[in-house]
Structure 1
Amino acid sequence: MPHVVTGNCNGCRFTDCVLTCPVACFHGDDQRMYIDPIACVDCAACVPACPVQAISESADLSKDELMWVEINAEKSSGTPVIRTKQTPLAGAEERRAALGF
């Protein structure tokens, strides 16, 4: 099962994850990142790279989080691939602190 970007990414868009991805499966819009489930090779290299713990194995999601599987699949198909680290969104550091990281 591929990994997915969950709600912790909302409003942050830290892109540390893209630097560890061997297959460029990360896509992004103006609010967050998404993982293309077809391109993801399930290597998990991105999991420890995320400073807000927003990336999870899809099989490990709770029932309340399962929506992220569909959201990542849908949104990744219509957003550009992000291959390089980008500047986090304004307020990302405050969001990270609010999340407790």
Structure 2
Amino acid sequence: MAYVINDACIDVADKACREECPVDCIYEGDRMLYIHPDECVDCGKCVTACPNGAIASEHKLSGDAERFRDIAVEFFEAFPEAEGGAEDVGAIGSDHPVVAAWPAGGGA
């Protein structure tokens, strides 16, 4: 894993990051986007494309954002069909339980 999307994406899911991702590793849940930890090539293009500051290096996560590393891993374990390219897979339509239970209005 190289980059992680945090709660600033919940209920926003701008998708500008997906347009910049050269390996198509940013998948769409119901309320937020998730970076596939095994597909990300650590290019960082998504970070600068995100207008919400919702993406950070896994090594620079702090505070509550740290749990989103595990949330991403667990999301892809729960939805094994989400691999091989987000565009081909399409929207998953579900989220990690923490994200699904997040208060309306999203994060940051």
Q: CA deviation at 1:17?
A: 0.5
Determine the structure 1 residue equivalent to 2:76: 76
Query: Paired residues, what number?
Result: 89
Aligned structure 1 segments of 4 or more residues deviating by more than 2 angstroms: 79-83
Deviation per residue, 1:6-30 (Å, 9 max, x gap) = 0100010110101111111111111
Change (3 A) 1:15 1:50: same
Distance in 1 separating the partners of 2:86 and 2:53: 19
Q: Does 1:15 align with 2:15?
A: yes
RMSD: 2.5
Gaps of 5+ in 2: 88-104
Determine the structure 2 residue equivalent to 1:29: 29
Gaps of 5+ in 1: 84-94
Residue identity opposite 2:51 in structure 1: P
Percent identical across equivalent pairs?
33
Structure number having the greater helix percentage: 2
Distance in 2 separating the partners of 1:14 and 1:76: 20
- When normalised by structure 2's length, the TM-score is 0.71
- When normalised by structure 1's length, the TM-score is 0.75
Distance in 1 separating the partners of 2:43 and 2:50: 14
